[in-house]
Amino acid sequence: MTFDALVIGGGLHGLSAALQAARRGMKVALVERDFLGRHASGATAAGVRTLGRDPAELPLSLEAAETWHVMEELVGDSCGFHATGQVQVAEDEAAMEKLRARVEGLQARGMSHEELIGANELKSLVPAMTGPCVGAAWTPRDGAADPHVTIRAFRTAALAAGVEMHEQCAVTGLSRREGTWIVTTSKGAFEAPVVINAAGAWSAEIARLAGDPLRLGLKHSMMIVTERASRVVAPVISAMGRRLSFKQTDAGTLLIGGGVQGRIHDDGQSAVVDFAALALALDTTRRLFPWTEGLRIVRTWAGMEATTDNHLPIIGFSNRAEGLIHDFGFSGHGFQLVPSVGRVVAELAAEGHTETDLSAFDPARIELERDAA
Ligand SMILES: Cc1cc2nc3c(=O)[nH]c(=O)nc-3n(C[C@H](O)[C@H](O)[C@H](O)COP(=O)(O)OP(=O)(O)OC[C@H]3O[C@@H](n4cnc5c(N)ncnc54)[C@H](O)[C@@H]3O)c2cc1C
C-alpha cells in the first residue's frame, strides 16, 4: 500500500488536509483508529469564530472565515453554516475596557472584523439577554455550523477526490527507510514519503513513534444541550473573562459550552462529564439569561483534544523526523480553522513549503529531549 502521503487521524483536520492534498494531485490514504469524527470533531460546538482569536492565529482564521461563507466551493455543501454573528459581552466596565483595548489594537493593525457595541445596541441584537451588560464586541460574519454535516461533507469530498480511507485502522509504529515512512497499522503496513500527523489528542504518541517526542497537554471540554425553548437568540454568545459559549439551534435547543473541563475516562482514551464543574458553568448562563432557569438538560458530553501551553496549534514539518508534518494542538478552537489549515498542510505535503508564515506554530516550542521519550 504505497501512497504519496498518509494522513493519520480522521477528524476534520485530517480530512481537510487529505482532501486538499488529493486535489493537488497526490495519491493520499487516511487511516483512522475508530471512525471518522469520533473524537473532538464529532464533539465540537462547531462555533465559527474569529472573535477574540490570538493575533498569531488571525491570518489563518480570517482566511478560513472567507471559506466558510462559500463552503460549497470547497466541499459541495454549506456544512450547515449560518452567519448569525458572535457576541462577546462585557458584564462590567473592567471587562468592557479589555474588549475596547483589543478591538482598538486590531483596528490599529488594519483589521475590522471585530466591532464594539454599546448596551442599547446589544439589547436590540439580543433582546432575550436580560442580565447586566455594559456592551460587547461583535463579529457579524462569524456564526456556527453543523459538525456532523461538516464531517460528512469533508468525507464525501475527500472520497470523490480519490482519498483512500481506512477506519478501525490504528497506527502502531513508524519507521523511515530510504526517504519513505513505513507505517505499521492494525490493518497492515502503508508506505509514503510524507506522513501527516492529525491524530488530535494522540498526536504526541504518533510523534514519539516517529522519534520526535513532544510536550502536549489534554483538554476535556464539555457541552450541554437543553430541551427546546422558543427561538429567541440568534448570535453565538460568549462573555469576557468567563467560560461560556451559548447558542440556540434552529430546533430551539440551547447548546452551552465554552471550555468547562470534564476529565479523562479510566480507559485513558476518552473524556467523561464532570457534573459538579458543569453545574458551576451554568452560573453565567443563568445570570445573562435568567429565563433559562428550570429548562431541562437533555444531553451532556465531553470531547478530548490536544492543547499547548499558549493555546496555539502546532502546524508544520517536524524539525527532527524528515517528511513528518504536524497538524494538531488546536486547544479547543480548531473547528473554524479546518479549511485554511488543511490548505497549508496540503501545500506542505505537495510542494514541501508554503508562503504562509507558520513561525508561531513551529513544533520547536514543544520539543522534548529525545531520551525523555
Ligand atoms: C466540546 C468541544 C467543543 C468545541 N467547540 C469548538 C468551537 O465552538 N469552535 C472551534 O473552532 N473549535 C471547537 N472545538 C475544537 C475543535 O472541535 C477541534 O479543534 C477539532 O475538531 C480538532 O480536530 P482534529 O481533526 O485535530 O482532532 P480529532 O477530531 O480528535 O481527530 C483526531 C483523530 O485521530 C485519530 N487517531 C488518534 N490516534 C490514532 C492512531 N494511532 N491511528 C489512527 N488514528 C488515530 C482519533 O481516533 C481521532 O479520530 C471544540 C472541541 C470540543 C471537544
Over residues 332-356, the mean pLDDT reads: 98
pLDDT for residue 294: 92
Q: Distance, CA 302 to ligand 1 centroid (Å)?
A: 12
Residue 196 has pLDDT above 90, yes or no: yes
Which CATH number is correct for 86-140+217-307, 3.40.50.2300, 3.30.9.10, 3.40.1710.10, 1.10.10.60? 3.30.9.10
DSSP 146-162: -HHHHHHHHHHHHHHTT
Tens-digit pLDDT profile for residues 39-74: 999 999 999 999 999 999 999 999 999 999 999 999
Residue 372 has pLDDT above 60, yes or no: no
Q: Distance, CA 118 to ligand 1 centroid (Å)?
A: 36
Residue count (the chain):
373
Say how far apart CA 48 and CA 65 lie, in whole Å: 7
Work out the percent of the chain whose per-residue pLDDT is above 90.
Answer: 92
pLDDT for residue 18: 99
CATH superfamily of the domain spanning 5-47+148-216+309-372: FAD/NAD(P)-binding domain (3.50.50.60)
Say how far apart CA 154 and CA 335 lie, in whole Å: 13
Over residues 179-192, the mean pLDDT reads: 98
What's the helix, strand, coil split of the chain in %, to 5?
35, 30, 40
pLDDT for residue 267: 87
Q: Which residue owns the Cα nearest ligand 1 atom 51?
A: 44
Over residues 336-341, the mean pLDDT reads: 98
Q: Distance, CA 259 to ligand 1 centroid (Å)?
A: 14
Say how far apart CA 76 and CA 5 lie, in whole Å: 24
Q: Which three cell numbers stand for residue 347?
A: 501545500
Say how far apart CA 226 and CA 286 lie, in whole Å: 13
Say how far apart CA 117 and CA 97 lie, in whole Å: 12
Tens-digit pLDDT profile for residues 127-167: 999 988 999 999 999 999 999 999 999 999 999 999 999 99
Q: Where are the domains of the chain?
A: 5-47+148-216+309-372, 86-140+217-307
pLDDT for residue 259: 86
Residue 283 has pLDDT above 90, yes or no: no
β-pair partners for 136: 89, 117
pLDDT for residue 363: 97
Q: Distance, CA 47 to ligand 1 centroid (Å)?
A: 14
pLDDT for residue 74: 98
pLDDT for residue 279: 85
Work out the percent of the chain whose per-residue pLDDT is above 70.
Answer: 99
For all residues of the chain together, what is the average pLDDT?
96
For the CA of 328, the nearest atom of ligand 1: 26
pLDDT for residue 278: 87
Over residues 305-334, the mean pLDDT reads: 97
pLDDT for residue 284: 87
Over residues 220-227, the mean pLDDT reads: 96
Q: Which residue owns the Cα nearest ligand 1 atom 26?
A: 200
Three-state DSSP at 98 gives helix
